[in-house]
Amino acid sequence: MVVLLFEGVDLLDVTGPPEVFALLRRETDDATGYRVALAAATREPVTTSAGVRVLPDLTFEEAAARRIDTLLVPGSVEVDDRRRVRALTDPAVVGWVKTLAGRSGRVASVCVGAHLLAAAGLLDGRRATTHWSTARQLADDHPAVEVDADPIFIRDGEVWTGAGITACLDLSLALVAEDFGEAVALRVARQLVMYLKRPSGQSQFSVPIEPVSTTRRMDGLRRHITQHVTAPLTVADLARHAHVSERQLTRLFKAELGTTPASYVESARVEAARNRLECTDDTLERVASVCGFHTVDTLIRAFRRKLGTTPTDYRNRFRRGPVPRRPDTPRSADGDTIHPATACRG
């Protein structure tokens, strides 16, 4: 297995998979396992995004002279002063990805490494994932790629793509399961204190309302929605507020935000509900009421649509402090628990 190295690469993307493969050797007493080599433009140390320097085992040219079982492609990002994340694709690295992929039995990207695969033309006509924060960038830059921002990893033929950051461990476990069987992969997962198959996808970690640059009119509409989530906020209501026709309002949302008014309003309400679930002791009935959903069932359906999970599961994962469970706790019609949480400890 060859793992690419280049300046600014994400450290965990590089070091996480080899840790998984080292545990594989320990759990199977198999000296073969995976032989991991780090390849870079030269044999000089490479400085990662964490400032840690890593020493390559071989150069790209040396790697291209051999047959590669698996090519693992990590990624790198830049973050602007508004904390917006953008995946980087160095043309020189992209060129080597394309060359080395031609020498590889399979190719796998970690996190935003998917952008490098896409730039090399390896994802055209394929379904792929990446970190949720750069999924829109991947879709916009590469229309021939079917981008799905929710799965932890996706396999499309002999091309694998992984989701964000720690998902490199999930992807590595999937490779182990593919090559050595699920029973072995499960033993490795237990050593990592991980699920072999993580419940739900990465959308539960994402931010539905991302900071994007829009016109003054749309900025005003977005503020209005955020400040009035309990209001009806129908297309007619928003059109009247913006002094445009309903048809023009729909066109504005599609052109500037890539979504519909109704979907954006739901995302705003989900974001408000996420905040209350994380930091208040509100019951689900209270959260639904103050965030514009009115009923718990509507809240649950919105969470499943937007985040692939339920409000209770979300609170249990992201709550700042334990949430007590009671045997007599009532449940909604959709089966989700309705209970008071402990006070937020921020």
Instruction: State pLDDT tens for residues 137-186.
Output: 999 999 999 999 888 899 999 999 999 888 899 999 999 999 998 888 88
Phi, psi of 124 (to 5 degrees): -60, 130
Q: Report whether 12 contacts 166 (CB < 8 A).
A: yes
In whole angstroms, what is the distance from residue 175 CA to residue 34 CA? 11
User: pLDDT class for 210, splitting at 50, 70, 90?
Assistant: low
Tokens representing 156 are: 């499309």
Look at 337 and 313; give whichever has higher pLDDT: 313
Q: Say which CATH class 2-204 falls into.
A: alpha beta
Structure tokens, 122: 């390896």
pLDDT tens digits for range 13-48: 999 999 999 999 888 866 668 999 999 999 999 999
Which pLDDT does position 140 carry in this prediction?
Answer: 94
pLDDT at 171: 94
pLDDT tens for 315-325 read 887 776 544 44
The structural domains of the chain, with segments of one domain joined by +, span 2-204, 216-318
Distance, in Å, from the CA atom of 271 to the CA atom of 293, rounded to the nearest integer, reads 12
Give percent above pLDDT 70 in the chain.
86
pTM of the model: 0.67
Average pLDDT over the chain reads: 87
Work out the average pLDDT over 67-92. Answer: 94
Q: What proportions of the chain, in percent to the nearest 5, are helix, strand and coil?
A: 45, 15, 40
Same fold, 2-204 and 216-318: no
CATH for the 216-318 domain, from 1.10.10.60, 1.20.1250.20, 3.30.1130.10, 3.30.70.20: 1.10.10.60
Give the amino acid at 184.
V
